[in-house]
């Protein structure tokens, strides 16, 4: 457990009379007025609506175990059917909440402990049946509310100041946007009309079974898959600019390094469905030797060529691990 960490959860719902939405976490905390050293309890956040004088109020409450420690409401709209776009943001010892792009609730905790393996969080409803839509938990472990960049910085240096030492993948998105991710995967796509397949083995220097993580603290990240496949390898990960999420970042480094040990290159008929980060499933029998090949890769590169009026697509990717 450690005292630094965070979680961000976004969702939309239409309030129902007597209905409550709960964000349940395995974060341990004490209330802002508690004595230092007392037993910490599980942190939960509740959201619902209430109507006062024909005005809708969104109500946020902070619970430790089953005990209410703080509650506040905020006027949102007239008493009509209104969708609530909710963002609950917990960072270190602070709980904050937003509704329809407005910051409406803040509460400071006294002491907090975050699970080293990452926060487990669930959403539930009580009191009435309510439909949650647009549920999203951003994957990047950066809980800062804002990032300040020097006015003189160009785009590349500004991005680098935000990305810092995290194992970030940057891919092109729709509408000339950039997509930042630790290890998100897109669609599952089955390979069709594969012309050739090549597996390349390369023991890179980034692999480790036992990672010593140096950040605001010092920790250890274990990769059992690397130990089983390659053996015991110790490596230090210097992530001194991170104050949270360093263990998670190191684990992503370890998993990607193991996946990149086995790179796959293949040529196939043009398939416009495929994008970087898709999981490409290969299940085929070679025509010459009748060799059966079954594999799945995470696509990292795509090249389209046209020659003599025929299109072909070259795909490269790293082999997906079973625990990836």
In DSSP terms, 218 is beta-bridged to 214
- Give CA–CA dist 315/302, Å, rounded: 5
Task: Give residue 143's pLDDT.
Answer: 62
Cα within 13 Å of Cα(312), Cβ side: 11
Phi, psi of 225 (to 5 degrees): -65, -45
Q: Say if 6-136 and 187-201+261-324 have the same CATH topology.
A: no
Whether the full predicted model's pTM is greater than 0.95, yes or no, is no
pLDDT at residue 140, as a whole number: 62
Question: Among the CATH numbers 3.10.28, 3.40.1710, 3.40.50, 2.60.120, which is that of 6-136?
Answer: 2.60.120
Q: Is the pLDDT of residue 151 over 70?
A: no
273, 276, 278, 280 alpha-carbon torsion, rounded to 10° = 80
DSSP string, 86-138: EEEEEETTEEEEEETTEEEEEEE-S-EEB-TT---EEEEEESS----EEEE--
DSSP, res 244: S
- Give 196-242 pLDDT, tens digit per residue: 888 898 877 889 999 999 887 888 999 998 998 888 999 998 887 77
Q: Average pLDDT of the chain?
A: 86
In the chain, domain spans: 6-136, 155-182+203-260, 187-201+261-324
3-state secondary structure of 275: coil
pLDDT band at 312 (very low <50, low <70, confident <90, very high): confident
From the candidate CATH numbers 3.40.1260.10, 3.30.70.360, 2.40.30.150, 3.40.47.10, the one assigned to the domain spanning 187-201+261-324: 2.40.30.150
The pair of structure tokens assigned to 85 is 């776009």
Tell me if residue 162 falls in helix, strand or coil: helix
Q: Would you report the helix, strand and coil content of the chain in percent, each value rounded to 5?
A: 10, 50, 40
Contacts (Cβ under 8 Å, ≥6 apart) of 199 = 262, 263, 264, 295, 319
Q: So what's the pLDDT on residue 21?
A: 96
| CA atoms of 61 and 67, how far apart (whole Å) | 10
Question: 219 vs 116, 204, 249, 252, CA distance in Å?
Answer: 9, 23, 12, 15
Task: Return the pLDDT at 324.
Answer: 47
For residue 183, pLDDT over 50 is answered with yes
| DSSP calls for 229-247 | HT---EEEEE-TT-SSSHH
């Amino acid at each position: 457990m450690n005292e630094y960490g965070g979680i961000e959860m976004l969702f939309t719902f239409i309030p129902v009379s007597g209905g409550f939405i709960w964000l349940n976490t395995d974060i341990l905390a004490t209330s802002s007025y508690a004595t230092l050293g007392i037993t910490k309890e599980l942190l939960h956040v509740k959201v619902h609506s209430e109507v006062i004088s024909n005005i809708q109020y969104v109500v946020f409450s902070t619970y430790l175990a089953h005990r209410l420690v703080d509650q506040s409401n905020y006027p949102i709209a007239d008493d009509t059917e209104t969708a609530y776009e909710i963002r609950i943001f917990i960072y270190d010892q602070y709980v904050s909440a937003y509704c329809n792009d407005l910051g409406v609730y803040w509460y400071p905790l006294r002491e907090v402990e975050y699970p080293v393996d990452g926060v487990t969080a669930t959403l539930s409803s009580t009191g009435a049946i309510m439909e949650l839509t647009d549920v999203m938990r951003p994957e990047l472990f950066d809980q800062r509310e804002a990032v300040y960049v020097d006015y003189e910085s160009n785009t590349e240096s500004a991005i680098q100041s935000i990305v810092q030492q995290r194992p970030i993948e940057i891919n092109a998105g729709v509408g000339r946007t950039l997509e930042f991710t630790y290890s998100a995967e897109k669609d599952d796509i089955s390979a069709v009309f594969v012309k050739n397949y090549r597996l390349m083995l390369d023991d890179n220097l980034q692999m480790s079974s036992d990672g010593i993580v140096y950040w605001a603290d010092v920790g250890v990240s274990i990769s059992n898959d690397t130990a089983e496949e390659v053996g015991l390898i110790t490596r230090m990960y210097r992530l001194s600019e991170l104050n949270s999420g360093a263990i998670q970042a190191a684990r992503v480094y370890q998993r990607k390094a193991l996946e990149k040990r086995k790179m796959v290159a293949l040529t196939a008929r043009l398939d416009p469905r495929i994008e970087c980060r898709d999981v490409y499933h290969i299940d085929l029998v070679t025509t010459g030797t009748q060799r059966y090949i079954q594999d799945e890769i995470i696509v990292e590169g795509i090249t389209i060529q046209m020659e003599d009026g025929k299109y072909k697509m070259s795909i490269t990717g790293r082999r997906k691990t079973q625990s990836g």
